[in-house]
Chain A
Amino acid sequence: MELIGSALQQALAPCHECGKVAKIPLDQARNEKNAADVVLPSWQDSLHCPRCGKEVHVRKTNAISRTWALVLLGFGVFVISHVYPVLTMTQLGQGSVSKTIVGGVLTLIDDGFWGIGAILFFASFIIPLIKLLGLAWILLAVKFPSFSSNRRMLGKMYRFIKWIGRWSMLDIFVLTIWASLIQMGGLATVEAEIGSSAFGILVIITMIAVATFDPRLIWDKRR
């Protein structure tokens, strides 16, 4: 096994969809070799994957600006989803209380449900925050190499963010089960509120943001 530079330098590009390594026109590769801190252009209709037929791009199209846009949007939605209540609980004879995510977690902890409170807090507050901050960190590091030079760490961070992302849906699922059980219970009702929609959108945005970024940009030569 012998390292022979990057695939791009050898005029090869793995297909984003199926992973098949395709030959790319040499002059194209040479032009783009040193232009990695800007968004790499892609051939519009010239090159298709020999296996799956999808367009082959050297790097995902406009990865950096698209990911930035989604991350910034994500921060906004993160604030919205934690400011507005996610649920309203109405108990017979006790009126109704609206709770934000963090408020709900605090109530759980007050009631002695430490474990559940901690898991929900982690899944719906810490994980989205880690994802957004982590992506912003990686994007800054790609733009300013002096910001963070440990590329292997950045790559691992990206893979960790990608892996952990789906678990932030936990809050939505718990709310769904609660709402259907307690609704039927008669003694009390749990109703979803606008914050839950915002949180759902946040999960979608962050997952798409992770998928839009191209981890190979971390390793490209910088100008």
Chain B
Amino acid sequence: MGFLSASAGLKASRITRQLPFVACEHCDALFRDVSVPYSHDLRCPRCEAVIFQNREHSLQREYALVITGLLLFFPAIFLPLVSISPVGRDIDASIVQGVVILFEQGHPMVAALVLFCAIFIPFFKLLTLFFVLSSIGMKRFKKSALNLFLWYRRLDEWSMLEVYMLGVLLCINNLDGMSLDMNPRFGLGFWVFAALMLVAVLASVSLNVAYVWERLERLVRL
């Protein structure tokens, strides 16, 4: 795993960035001679959207988060999230089970939506990010990495792990307050899922998209 060493350039240096031109993607304002100090976000003076981030970021940490996410993924979707025991019987539900049951009830549309937003796209995002980071580190498969990163960006907002998490919490809260003696509790899957959500959100938020694009651009030019 030599390509993970700092000498391979996976870590950004802590310098002020000088940019000859910056165009705001939100309002199309164009700025000349922009300098962004280290650990600062540049806001567009016209529309107040963040247009450039010179933040602390490291592709190594990103890599670690992505691998953790991939390891947690399958336990998180197959292990029971919530268990209830009415009349002394233990019943539990996992993400995959929810999808299967909706499908059986004749709602393939809803089942597919949950399948994509809570399972496929989060997994796809972790996988593509793993591929892109590996590709940057190894300086190979650069064209595929570039195309995959395009898809990563397109599907970004369709990953809804944190929304699902809130849904689980609401359900538990509701079952807990019901007069029926359900005795609801978190399953092992819940804690794995919570960890997966934190890791995935952290990976997504801490990823410096502009920096990855720059790296990919340099790679393709080589």
Contact = CB atoms under 8 A, between A and B. Distances in A.
B157 A6 contact: no
B113 A159 contact: no
Contact of B171 (A156, A178, A184, A196): A178
Interface string A51-66: 1111000000000000
Interface stretch (B58-66, B84-92, B133-141, B199-207): B84-92
A52 B174 contact: no
B15 interface: no
Interface string A188-223: 000110001100110110010000000110111000
Interface in B27-58: 27-35, 45-49
A3 B31 contact: yes
A3 B29 CA distance: 7
A167 B174 CA distance: 19
A197 B107 contact: yes
Contact-residue size bin, chain B (C-beta under 8 Å from the other chain)? 35 or more
Interface of B: 21, 23-35, 45-49, 81-82, 84, 86-87, 89, 91-94, 97-102, 105, 107, 109-110, 113-114, 117-118, 146, 150, 153-154, 157-158, 160, 163-164, 166-168, 170-171, 173-175, 177-178, 180, 182, 209-210, 213, 216-217, 220
Given A113-B174, A176-B110, A177-B82, 20 more contacts: A1-B31, A7-B24, A8-B28, A12-B21, A17-B154, A19-B210, A51-B213, A113-B177, A170-B166, A174-B171, A180-B98, A181-B93, A186-B86, A187-B180, A192-B110, A197-B109, A216-B26, A218-B27, A219-B27, A219-B46
11 contacts: A152-B46, A162-B157, A166-B157, A172-B113, A174-B171, A181-B175, A184-B91, A185-B182, A197-B107, A200-B110, A219-B47
